[in-house]
Chains A and B, each alone.
Chain A
């Protein structure tokens, strides 16, 4: 059960990063920082201000989204590699700030967070996340994201305000990462800045890459495989990072489109759901 909760939290993280990196084509290496903002905000709110879990969780997501906009507006003027480095830099700066602030508990982190996350809460959160991201991608906004990924100059020529849409993608992704962070904090009941460092960002990126960039179903598979496999095979868990490293290289060379490739796996119920969803639009 514990593994399943973790899988669901990671699915939210992978899908939200996929929105930025897979659909909009902007490589972000600081995604865990947004998760951290959400985790710390919601934990501090429930712990020190005794605010109920749900508003605290949402506030964590909203604050992460605000940070997404603050970070996004200046950095998204940058392209490709520069953007990746700038997001990495921001992620590290946020981690250093978390390490030095009093309210975040410094290196010790925060203990004794209320246990609020359970399998039902995360299930609902995953369904809502998938629904919202799916709807976004089926809308005008989503098509703009894809246009930016395919060719930024052409997208701009077609009248898409690329800067605006990139910031929007960043903010939405940050919001969901923040929610995932809040769920994470209220599940483990303990957080410290190292939970939200560069290696976590890479872990999320590995899930997106493994599943296939730009596919929601891919992120679900990627997150499930990379979370469940090391948990189930305890003996290889020491080699986890090693495997992530090899995985990223091999996937890029052999199958850059992800394990699912161009095959769009659709379970029967998904078809029905899609029909239902598309009727409304």
Chain B
């Protein structure tokens, strides 16, 4: 029972981690809670579905297609809704982000209707016995794909020149600009990378729960944001850690407490973290400037 819940929790947690990475990266660079990120994840799940249904794509192609589409979407959102607000108050940017989020989810409702659509079965589910618990090939696949994407992101951020530029922008945008870094391009790139990860998460969750619906982004986005805050917003390893922790906590909460309070678990953790240690598990202390 315990091991089984742990496996389920890690599977769910790795998808939260994928979404949380986008929040944390964007926050790290422009200090904005990208409220539309959950909707990007939802659009990712839908585009994956379209690729599967219309072009008969397999799982890898569906994920790749969704990632590319959402990259464009993420960059577009940044261009239209956030870039014109550079330099204005954080409140304005946040409200604009909320606007984009509502726009996207309503748009998908208008196009596809509010009902839940299921993914077609793409491969046969095989269950493996691991001690007292069972793990399905789908769960293994989700963990592997998430791990690959996270390692790829880590390599991009830590080992490449663009990654170095991203880290520079997160530290000090003005100094980065003086060093000849095109801050605008780096911000676009951050949005592209974060959105791509969210899209991958969307397709994986769509296949795992066999359900995609237009309002799925809101709750998942909120939970992933909680994960990012839990791990320490702005910190990439923190987002992964927070995502896994949250996924496991949620599965255990449902198993041992009550399933009707499922969604309250993430929010309670979020509020507790904000009250006890707002910088999260791996975050740096924030200094208040006068």
A-B complex is real: yes
Residue contact B85 to A253, C-beta cutoff 8 Å:
yes
Chain B residues with Cβ below 8 Å from A245 are: 99-104, 106
Find the B residue at minimum CB distance from A151: B290
Residue contact B268 to A247, C-beta cutoff 8 Å:
no
A259 at the interface (CB under 8 A from B): no
Contact A241 B278, CB 8 Å, known A90-B271, A153-B290, A205-B95: no
Chain A residues with Cβ below 8 Å from B99 are: 244-249, 252
Docked pose: A247 CA to B225 CA in angstroms: 25
Residue contact B260 to A100, C-beta cutoff 8 Å:
yes
Query: Which of A74, A205, A249 is the most central at the interface, judged by chain B CB atoms within 10 Å of its CB?
Result: A249
The one of B222, B226, B274 that contacts A75, using a Cβ cutoff of 8 Å: B274
A81 at the interface (CB under 8 A from B): yes
A85 at the interface (CB under 8 A from B): yes
B98 at the interface (CB under 8 A from A): yes
Chain B residues with Cβ below 8 Å from A231 are: none
Residue contact B95 to A209, C-beta cutoff 8 Å:
yes
Chain B residues with Cβ below 8 Å from A209 are: 95
The one of A81, A154, A249, A253 that contacts B103, using a Cβ cutoff of 8 Å: A249
Interface-lining segment among A35-43, A91-99, A115-123, A160-168? A91-99
Residue contact A25 to B91, C-beta cutoff 8 Å:
yes
Contact A239 B274, CB 8 Å, known A153-B288, A246-B103: no
Docked pose: A205 CA to B218 CA in angstroms: 17
Residue contact A241 to B33, C-beta cutoff 8 Å:
no
Docked pose: A148 CA to B106 CA in angstroms: 35
Residue contact A96 to B91, C-beta cutoff 8 Å:
no
Chain B residues with Cβ below 8 Å from A198 are: 218
Question: Which residues of B from 31 to 83 have beta carbons under 8 Å from A?
Answer: 31-33, 80-81
B270 at the interface (CB under 8 A from A): yes
Residue contact A89 to B270, C-beta cutoff 8 Å:
yes
Contact A244 B102, CB 8 Å, known A82-B278, A86-B270, A198-B218: yes
Question: Which residues of B from 80 to 139 have beta carbons under 8 Å from A?
Answer: 80-81, 84-85, 88-96, 98-107, 109-110
A32 to B: closest C-beta gap in Å: 14
The contact string, 1 if C-beta is below 8 Å from chain A, for chain B 239-277, is: 000000000000000000000110110011011001100
Question: Which residues of A from 104 to 152 have beta carbons under 8 Å from B?
Answer: none
Docked pose: A25 CA to B100 CA in angstroms: 21
Chain B residues with Cβ below 8 Å from A84 are: 33, 94
Residue contact B102 to A88, C-beta cutoff 8 Å:
no
Docked pose: A90 CA to B272 CA in angstroms: 11
Contact A248 B268, CB 8 Å, known A77-B275, A84-B33, A242-B106: no
Contact A241 B106, CB 8 Å, known A86-B271, A249-B99, A249-B100: yes
B165 at the interface (CB under 8 A from A): no
Query: Which of B31, B84, B109, B271 is the most central at the interface, judged by chain A CB atoms within 10 Å of its CB?
Result: B271
Docked pose: A236 CA to B106 CA in angstroms: 13
Docked pose: A54 CA to B109 CA in angstroms: 40
A102 to B: closest C-beta gap in Å: 12
The contact string, 1 if C-beta is below 8 Å from chain B, for chain A 23-41, is: 0010101000000000000
Docked pose: A25 CA to B101 CA in angstroms: 22
Find the A residue at minimum CB distance from B269: A89
Residue contact A81 to B110, C-beta cutoff 8 Å:
no
Find the B residue at minimum CB distance from A99: B260
Residue contact B84 to A253, C-beta cutoff 8 Å:
yes
Chain A residues with Cβ below 8 Å from B10 are: none
Chain A residues with Cβ below 8 Å from B93 are: 252
B229 at the interface (CB under 8 A from A): yes
Residue contact B267 to A80, C-beta cutoff 8 Å:
no
Residue contact A88 to B222, C-beta cutoff 8 Å:
yes
Residue contact A81 to B268, C-beta cutoff 8 Å:
no
Residue contact A249 to B275, C-beta cutoff 8 Å:
no
Chain A residues with Cβ below 8 Å from B94 are: 27, 80-81, 84
A230 at the interface (CB under 8 A from B): no
A/B interface sample: 21 pairs, CB < 8 A: A21-B91, A75-B271, A77-B275, A78-B278, A80-B90, A81-B90, A85-B33, A85-B229, A88-B222, A93-B267, A205-B98, A241-B109, A244-B102, A245-B101, A248-B102, A249-B81, A252-B93, A252-B95, A253-B84, A253-B85, A256-B89
A-B complex: 10 closest residue pairs judged by Cβ atoms: A248-B99, A245-B103, A245-B102, A89-B267, A249-B99, A241-B106, A252-B96, A242-B106, A252-B92, A253-B84
Residue numbers of B with Cβ under 8 A of A are 31-33, 80-81, 84-85, 88-96, 98-107, 109-110, 218, 222, 225-226, 229, 260-261, 263-264, 267-268, 270-271, 274-275, 278, 288, 290
Residue numbers of A with Cβ under 8 A of B are 21, 25, 27, 29, 74-75, 77-78, 80-82, 84-86, 88-90, 92-93, 96-97, 99-100, 153-154, 198-199, 202, 205, 209, 238-239, 241-242, 244-249, 252-253, 256
